[in-house]
Structure 1
C-alpha cells in the first residue's frame, strides 16, 4: 500500500536559501575549524538577513579528504563539528528563528573508509561485493574504459585486494556506489530517512546526476581539446575533453529520483534541490524537475561562471524558459566550489553597484535564490598561498587552477578582532586581510553597506507576490540591459538591470502600459521617463505595471 502524501505548503517556491559551509562559519571551541555550535550561535545573522532556510554543507563522519564530501558514516556527526545533540540543538534554534534546515546529501559515492567499502573490497564474494562499481582490467592491465575523474586522471583505481579496478568520479578516496543494485538504493534511502526522522526540512543533493553509470561501461566519445573562449579555463583538466554520455546523467537516474521523492513526500513541507553538473545543465534540470514526482528544484552551473553581460543572461533565461517548462529552478550565483561572486563578476576591484545589481537580479528571477555565506558582505576571493592550500583539487592542478580554497576562508564577523570573530587566531584556512573591512560588525554600523542592502531587499521581496511565485516574461534582448516582467493574475512587476558601466536607455513596448516605480527595495540608478527607462551604470529598478 502506497503511503499517503504529507501536506506541503510550498515554502521553498521562492523562499531564500542561505548556504553555510560549516568549517568556515564560526568556531565555538577554538580548534580552528567551524562547528555546529558555532553555527547555532550565529543563526541570528541569517534570520535577520531575511533568509527562509539554511543549507548546511556536509558535517557527517568523514576522513575529510574532500572536506566532508567523502562520507564514512551517513548517520552521525563528525567529532570535528560536534555531536548529534549539537545538531538537534541547531535544528531547534533554527526552527525557533523561523528558518528551515536543509542538509547536504552525498549519495553518489562514499569515503573509501566507509564500512560498506571495506566489506566490498574484501572479496568478490562478500555480501556487499557489488555495492560499488568494480571492473576487470583490459587484457593489457589498463582500466576498463576511458572515463575520467573530475579531479584529474583516470576515474578507475586498481585495488590489490579485489584484483579489480573501482570507479571514482572524484577523488581516489571517493568510490562510487553501484546504484544498479537495489540493496544499495534501499540502504541510501534509509540514511535519508534517518535525518528526516530527526526533523530536517529538506536536502541539497550533491552531484545529483552522477548516481547511475552505464552498466556496459562503454567509452565516452571524444569532445576534443577546448579552443577559443573555453581554452584558458578548460585545458588544464582533460575531463572537459569528453562527452560524458556514459559515466553520468544516465536515464536510470530518473527512477531513483522518483524513489527519493516518494520518501520525502511522506514528510510534511520538505523539499530537495539537486546539483546538476552537466554540459547541458538546463536540459537535465528540465528532466529532473518535471512532473512533480522527482526533484522539487535543481540548479546548474550556468550562472556560476564569469560571464554576466545582458545578452548572455537574456539568452540563458530565454533558453531556460523554452526548455524547463513547469520545472522550478534554484538560482545560485556562488557556492563553495567556485570563485567568489565579487571577484568572478567584478574583478580585482568590484564596483559595489554591480554587486547590488546582481543581488537584485538573483532575487527577482522566477525560482528560488540560493545565497552563499559572505555574498551579503561582498567578500572577494581570498588569495591563498600554495603552502596554505587545503583543497586536493587545487594542489593537484596548481598553478593553472588554484582550487576552491579562495572561496572557503572563514567569515569575518568583527573587523578589529585578531581572529575577525571566527573563533581562532589560526583557523584551518588563513583569514583574508581583504575581508577585514567588510566584516559583519563594520557593515552593521554603515546603513549604506551591502549587508543593509541585502536585508532591505530580502524583506521588501517578501511583500511582492509577483517576485515570489509569479510567471516571467523576458523583454527583447538589449546590448546593456536585462529586463523582464514577473506577473500574477493581479499584479505585474517590471525588473530592469543595466549590466554595463555606461548609461543605458530602454524604450518599453506600449502594450506594457504605464509604470510606477516601486519604493523601498533599495535598488537605485533607474528612473522612468515616459515610455523610456533611464538606467545609470550598473543601475536598475523595479516598477509596477498598471
Structure 2
C-alpha cells in the first residue's frame, strides 16, 4: 500500500496504485433522493453519510455524488450559483467534510460533479456580466448582438426546447444557453474563466475529493464565428425537440476543449491518485470520448450513453459498443452505465414485469463483466423500476416542457426504499420531493438484506467477483459470439482467462462451449450451465490452462 500525504490532503484513503480507478465499480448517488436526515422531504449529505455502510457492503471503490452546490434548483443542481459551497438544503461544508471522512474510513473514494459549460443565471458571475458590456466579467459568458432584423445571432437550439438564445435588455444582447434559459453558457475560451473553474476544482481537491465527473464537457466551448448549424438528415426516428433537427457542429465540440481538459488533468495529477471522467453525449460521442481521453494528459475515462438510451439490451448492441474500445495502445479507457439520473430505469426499459427478477440478475452480472469502469445507479442493486410520475407532480423541467412525448427523468430519481413498512419507505418522515414507487416496498433494502437469492445479495457477489478477478477488472475483452440472444465474451489478464456467456432472451438456449472440460464455473445465475442457458441466465467460467 502507498501512503498518501495526509497532512497535505487530509482524509485520503490508502491506495495500492495511482490507477485505483481502472476497472473500478462506482456507485452514483443522487443526493435529493438517497436519505433525508432532517425530515424536510429532500435527501441531504448527512443522510448519505448515515447510509455509507450500505454502499460499502456492495464492494464499490467509489461514489459519485450528483450536484449538491448552491443552486436555485431549476435543473436540480446542474444550474450552479456557487461552485465552492453546499446548498443549505443538502447541509453545510462541515457536513461534506464529515461525509468525506466517513467514506474514506470505509475505503470509499468520493467523486463529485463539476459543471463547467454553464452556471445559473443567479450566479454572481452572471449578474455582473449582464450588468453592462464593459464590466470585469463582461466576457465571462457568451453574448452576441442580434441579427439586423432583431432575431438571435444563430439558429442554434436548446437541448430543452426552443432557441438557445435569450434576449437581455440590460446589455441589449442575446446570451447563449444550450439548456435552460436560466443556465447561461460560460465563455470557456476566456482565460479568466478557465482560471476560475480550475480554482473551483482546487477548492474541492483541497477538501479531499478523489476526482470529478465533468458534466456536458463537449458543450464547454462554442464556435466564436457564430456559424449556423446545418440541418440533420431525417432518419425516421421521432424528433420531439427542435434540437433534434440540427447537426450540432458549431454550438458545441470546439477544437480547443482538449487544451482545457489538459489543464484540469494537470491539476488533478498534482494531487496524486485522482480520477476524472467526462460525460459525453450527442451525435459525435464516440469520437469525442476517445479525443477527450487520448494519451495520459486528458481525462482518465469518458462516460458514454450507448446503453442509457438503448431500446433493448442485446448481444449485438454489447458487441458493437465493445468493439469501439479495443485494448490497443492509445485507445482511452471507457466507463459504462445501464442507468443514471438522466435515463429511465433500465429494468423497466428492457424487461417486462414478469421478466424483471431474472433479467435484473443477468443484467447485473453482464455489467460487472464489461471492460472499463462500471457505474451503478442508486437502487439499481435493488432492481428499482421506473416510477410513473403524474404530470402535476413532475419536477423535471425537460419532462414538463416535452410532456408527454419524453420519458420523465423524475421517474428514475425517486426516493431510495430502505424499509418496507416505514413512512416513505424509510427515506423521510415527511412527504418526499417525489413520490415513492408503488412497487418499491417489496424491493426495499430491509426486504433483500438477509435474502441470499435477492438481487442485492447477487450484486454484492458479482462486484466481489469483479474485484478479485484481474481479467474482469483490468483485462482485454474479445467477443466470441453475439448471435440471436447468445453473447459469449472472453476476458483475459496476466495469465487469467474467463469465459462469460449470457442468454439475454426469454427462450432456452442449448449452448456448448469449446472444450467444456477445460472450464470451471465460478459464477452462474438463473440456472446457467455449460450445456444449457435458461432464459435470462449467465455464467462466468475460468479457462483452465
TM bracket (short chain)? over 0.9
> Following the alignment from structure 1 to structure 2, what is the Cα–Cα distance between the partners of residues 474 and 404?
33
- C-alpha deviation, 1:536, in angstroms: 1.2
> Following the alignment from structure 2 to structure 1, what is the Cα–Cα distance between the partners of residues 432 and 354?
26
- C-alpha deviation, 1:239, in angstroms: 1.2
Q: What is the CA deviation profile of residues 403-435 of structure 1, one whole-angstrom value per residue up to 9, with x for unaligned ones?
A: 211000101100011221002330111122211
Where in structure 1 do 4 or more consecutive aligned residues deviate above 6 Å? none
Say which SS state the counterpart of residue 497 (structure 2) adopts: strand
- C-alpha deviation, 1:489, in angstroms: 3.0
Query: Is the Cα–Cα contact under 8 Å of residues 226 and 241 in structure 1 kept in the other structure?
Result: no
> Following the alignment from structure 1 to structure 2, what is the Cα–Cα distance between the partners of residues 308 and 322?
23
Unaligned runs of 5+ in 2: 1-8, 10-14
Which residue number corresponds to residue 523 of structure 1? Answer: 525
Q: 2:102 aligns with which of 93, 96, 106?
A: 93
After superposition, the Cα gap between the structure-2 partners of 1:468 and 1:323, relative to the gap in structure 1 and judged at 3 Å, is closer
Superposed CA RMSD = 1.7
- C-alpha deviation, 1:514, in angstroms: 5.2
In the alignment, structure 1 residue 110 sits paired with structure 2 residue 145: no
Q: 2:84 aligns with which of 69, 75, 78?
A: 75
- C-alpha deviation, 1:508, in angstroms: 4.2
Query: Is the Cα–Cα contact under 8 Å of residues 343 and 350 in structure 1 kept in the other structure?
Result: no
In the alignment, structure 1 residue 205 sits paired with structure 2 residue 214: yes
Query: Is the Cα–Cα contact under 8 Å of residues 282 and 323 in structure 1 kept in the other structure?
Result: no
Query: Is the Cα–Cα contact under 8 Å of residues 419 and 447 in structure 2 kept in the other structure?
Result: yes
1:308-319 equivalent positions in 2, closer than 5 A: 308-319=313-324
- C-alpha deviation, 1:31, in angstroms: 0.5
Which residue number corresponds to residue 533 of structure 2? Answer: 535
Q: 1:419 aligns with which of 404, 421, 424?
A: 424
Unaligned runs of 5+ in 1: 1-5
After superposition, the Cα gap between the structure-2 partners of 1:225 and 1:424, relative to the gap in structure 1 and judged at 3 Å, is farther
> Following the alignment from structure 2 to structure 1, what is the Cα–Cα distance between the partners of residues 381 and 530?
28
> Following the alignment from structure 1 to structure 2, what is the Cα–Cα distance between the partners of residues 347 and 113?
44
> Following the alignment from structure 1 to structure 2, what is the Cα–Cα distance between the partners of residues 215 and 17?
37
Query: Is the Cα–Cα contact under 8 Å of residues 516 and 545 in structure 1 kept in the other structure?
Result: yes
Say which SS state the counterpart of residue 468 (structure 2) adopts: coil
Which residue number corresponds to residue 5 of structure 2? Answer: none
Which stretch of the first structure deviates more once superposed, 245-254 or 156-165?
245-254
Which residue number corresponds to residue 3 of structure 1? Answer: none
Q: What is the CA deviation profile of residues 242-287 of structure 1, one whole-angstrom value per residue up to 9, with x for unaligned ones?
A: 1111111221111111111111010111001110012132221111
Which residue number corresponds to residue 303 of structure 1? Answer: 307
After superposition, the Cα gap between the structure-2 partners of 1:356 and 1:515, relative to the gap in structure 1 and judged at 3 Å, is farther
Q: What is the CA deviation profile of residues 426-478 of structure 1, one whole-angstrom value per residue up to 9, with x for unaligned ones?
A: 01111222111100001113221111110111122221111010111111331
Query: Is the Cα–Cα contact under 8 Å of residues 16 and 52 in structure 1 kept in the other structure?
Result: yes
- C-alpha deviation, 1:26, in angstroms: 0.3
> Following the alignment from structure 2 to structure 1, what is the Cα–Cα distance between the partners of residues 511 and 288?
34
Which stretch of the first structure deviates more once superposed, 444-453 or 121-130?
444-453
After superposition, the Cα gap between the structure-2 partners of 1:347 and 1:129, relative to the gap in structure 1 and judged at 3 Å, is farther
Which residue number corresponds to residue 44 of structure 1? Answer: 53
1:361-510 equivalent positions in 2, closer than 5 A: 361-508=366-513
Query: Is the Cα–Cα contact under 8 Å of residues 471 and 494 in structure 2 kept in the other structure?
Result: no
1:315-330 equivalent positions in 2, closer than 5 A: 315-321=320-326, 326-330=331-335
TM-score for the superposition, normalised by structure 2: 0.94
Q: 1:265 aligns with which of 259, 265, 269?
A: 269
After superposition, the Cα gap between the structure-2 partners of 1:70 and 1:79, relative to the gap in structure 1 and judged at 3 Å, is same
Query: Is the Cα–Cα contact under 8 Å of residues 525 and 538 in structure 1 kept in the other structure?
Result: no
Which residue number corresponds to residue 159 of structure 1? Answer: 168
After superposition, the Cα gap between the structure-2 partners of 1:323 and 1:218, relative to the gap in structure 1 and judged at 3 Å, is farther
> Following the alignment from structure 1 to structure 2, what is the Cα–Cα distance between the partners of residues 438 and 354?
15
After superposition, the Cα gap between the structure-2 partners of 1:292 and 1:505, relative to the gap in structure 1 and judged at 3 Å, is farther
TM-score for the superposition, normalised by structure 1: 0.94
> Following the alignment from structure 1 to structure 2, what is the Cα–Cα distance between the partners of residues 45 and 213?
42
After superposition, the Cα gap between the structure-2 partners of 1:436 and 1:267, relative to the gap in structure 1 and judged at 3 Å, is same
Q: 1:12 aligns with which of 21, 28, 31?
A: 21
> Following the alignment from structure 2 to structure 1, what is the Cα–Cα distance between the partners of residues 298 and 432?
40
Which stretch of the first structure deviates more once superposed, 419-428 or 36-45?
419-428
Q: 1:168 aligns with which of 163, 177, 183?
A: 177
> Following the alignment from structure 2 to structure 1, what is the Cα–Cα distance between the partners of residues 328 and 519?
32
Query: Is the Cα–Cα contact under 8 Å of residues 232 and 245 in structure 2 kept in the other structure?
Result: yes
Which residue number corresponds to residue 279 of structure 1? Answer: 283
Say which SS state the counterpart of residue 500 (structure 2) adopts: strand
In the alignment, structure 1 residue 360 sits paired with structure 2 residue 365: yes
> Following the alignment from structure 2 to structure 1, what is the Cα–Cα distance between the partners of residues 286 and 358?
29
> Following the alignment from structure 1 to structure 2, what is the Cα–Cα distance between the partners of residues 422 and 249?
40
1:223-302 equivalent positions in 2, closer than 5 A: 223-227=232-236, 230-231=237-238, 235-302=239-306
> Following the alignment from structure 2 to structure 1, what is the Cα–Cα distance between the partners of residues 542 and 197?
48
Query: Is the Cα–Cα contact under 8 Å of residues 283 and 324 in structure 1 kept in the other structure?
Result: no
Which residue number corresponds to residue 6 of structure 2? Answer: none
- C-alpha deviation, 1:527, in angstroms: 1.7
Q: When the two structures are aligned, how many residues end up with a matched partner? A: 529
Say which SS state the counterpart of residue 383 (structure 1) adopts: coil
Which stretch of the first structure deviates more once superposed, 312-321 or 82-91?
312-321
Q: 2:130 aligns with which of 121, 125, 128?
A: 121
